[in-house]
Amino acid sequence: MILVATYLAIFAAGPLVFVILTRPKPSLDRFVLHSAAAFGFLVAASLLWQQPGQAAMVGALLSLWLGWVVMSVAAVQAVWLRGQRGEIWRWSATLGATTTVVPWFGLSLTLI
């Protein structure tokens, strides 16, 4: 039951975090910040993965997922920084928000 609740919460939280992080006007500084944050989450996940215990494993998975979400934000902002507006902005935002839940499909498939 807890896995189902977590799964549903992530399906709401992922796109919400994505929208919050992409709401400010894109800039090179934000792109660098989000890229560094994604790398930081990856480092945190690898450090947590080496620790024993279920809490460390959950923390590592959460860090990996947050790194993925922030990396998706950085990728969309990179597209937006190219200066093209219109359809490309809408499509990149839609696809970016959709990518935030992709890792959970893999997790659910490994738990079946």
State how far the Cα of 38 lies from the Cα of 54, in Å rounded to an integer: 23
- What per-residue confidence (pLDDT) applies to 27? 87
Q: What is the token pair recorded at 76?
A: 């969309």
pTM recorded for the entire structure: 0.81
What 17-23 contacts at long range (C-beta under 8 Å, 24+ apart), as own/partner pairs, is 17/66, 17/69, 17/100, 18/69, 18/72, 18/73, 18/96, 18/97, 18/100, 19/97, 21/69, 21/70, 21/73, 22/73, 22/76, 22/77, 22/93, 22/96
Residues 40-95 pLDDT 10s: 999 999 999 898 988 888 888 889 889 999 999 998 888 888 877 777 777 777 77
Q: Which amino acid is at 10?
A: I
